[in-house]
């Protein structure tokens, strides 16, 4: 049987479509392909994004902005010197982009103007930190990425 050029084009299209469908099915069934959202409640977090922008803008206008300093015992978050530590309450969130099982949150409780994140909690690599706190009715958000 002789195949003419029209039949060859149709067979080529069918072969190409089968090839693409094979890889789509293979990738969607593969357990190694992780299709999780970055955060569990992504859409709820998206609705509060304007409040985060406003809180970050308040931090950028501070005369003494917070600092993130690496020490021998871990990472130190240094709060503004002009704030009274006992009036600061909020939480620190550490996010590891490469592994969501390493993410953790803890509340802020200060006796002086700095907060230590212990060395044993941080693995080498990239981290994103969000420090959210309230002080005298104002909300502040300090966000930074660092490599430990």
Q: pLDDT tens digits for 62-107?
A: 888 888 888 888 888 888 888 888 888 889 898 888 877 888 888 8
Domains in the chain, ordered, with CATH? Answer: 55-147 (2.60.40.10)
Edge-first strand listing for the sheet containing 114-118: 67-71, 74-78, 114-118
Q: Phi/psi class of residue 60: alpha, beta or left (left: φ > 0; alpha: ψ in -120 to 50)?
A: alpha
**pTM of the prediction?**
0.65
The answer to whether residues 141 and 55 touch, using CB atoms and an 8 Å cutoff, is yes
What residues pair up with 63 in beta bridges, in sequence order? none
H-helix or E-strand spanning residue 10: helix 5-29
Cα-Cα-Cα-Cα dihedral sign, residues 102, 108, 114, 116: negative
The conformation of residue 14, written as its DSSP 8-state character, comes to H
Residue ranges in 30-142 assigned as alpha helix (H):
42-47, 49-60
Please say if the pLDDT value at position 33 is more than 80: no
């Amino acid at each position: 049987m002789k195949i003419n050029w029209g039949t060859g084009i149709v067979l080529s299209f069918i072969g190409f479509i089968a090839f693409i469908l094979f890889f789509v099915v293979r990738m969607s069934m593969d357990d190694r392909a992780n299709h999780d959202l970055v955060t569990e409640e992504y859409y709820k977090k998206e609705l509060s994004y304007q409040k985060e922008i406003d809180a970050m803008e308040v931090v950028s206008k501070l005369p003494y902005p917070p600092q993130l300093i690496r020490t021998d015992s871990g990472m130190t978050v240094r709060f503004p010197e002009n704030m009274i530590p006992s009036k600061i309450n909020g939480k620190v969130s550490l996010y590891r982009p490469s592994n969501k099982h390493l993410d953790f949150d803890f509340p802020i409780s200060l006796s002086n103007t700095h907060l230590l994140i212990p060395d044993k909690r941080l693995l080498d690599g990239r981290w994103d930190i969000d420090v959210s706190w309230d002080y005298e009715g104002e909300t502040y958000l300090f966000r930074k990425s660092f490599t430990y």
